[in-house]
Structure 1
């Protein structure tokens, strides 16, 4: 009897675990996001992460992920400076272009922030960037911002 019950149990298990056609929903949107926003924790009390660089670094490259099927043509996306999270001054502390290009058949673009060496004046300034996308590619609401903190060494002590 135990043997019959065991065989019956295996037949029932096989019957219920057989292949079932399932219709999985496929997402067909297109988003862009900062890689640093995906992998780094947000600043305390904020929704964005911070990348800290010295003013002597020259430039910092921020990777932009393209979350979509590849496109046959280049895609130019825009980004902006968010004044509410920025104390850095354009041209004095940094320069940017405001656009990044996702090459055809690629998943990535690079936003380059050129850091101006303001010398040993002490303190730090912040630059908050936000992806805007373009007409067909939207920014990810959760991962569209990243802040760059530019540190400046203290001046040498006199004496």
Structure 2
């Protein structure tokens, strides 16, 4: 990964959930071709975009990501037949949930990048980084991490009352 020379006041953290066969290979092609692009993206490789659970996206935002990219094979070219079509349907419905919980949908991008499209990977990553940089840090959703209590303890009167009424 090659970083651009420019430095900014805010460097966004972007998580990319990518397909092994196409997008990851396209990103690798960009790197081996020595194409320059921002190094803000942290790539998580999956066998197929159809295997990416929407909860992973929520957790990425909750854990500090300012933007998320989901990218895989072009429709019709999935190595698992229809995994990317399944992912496209799943994430179309998921966008409503993100909007409901307060995630600006401009912070999430879906794209199709094949193994031969190293230049397109650079374009997608650069455009997303610039868009998120202009939006600034995502503070709203991160606050949920500190408010969330997964310990199982009933530490509020409301939760204790609900528990007692079961």
Whose helix proportion is higher, 1 or 2?
Answer: 2
Whose strand proportion is higher, 1 or 2?
Answer: 1
Using the size of structure 2 for normalisation, the TM-score is 0.28
Using the size of structure 1 for normalisation, the TM-score is 0.29
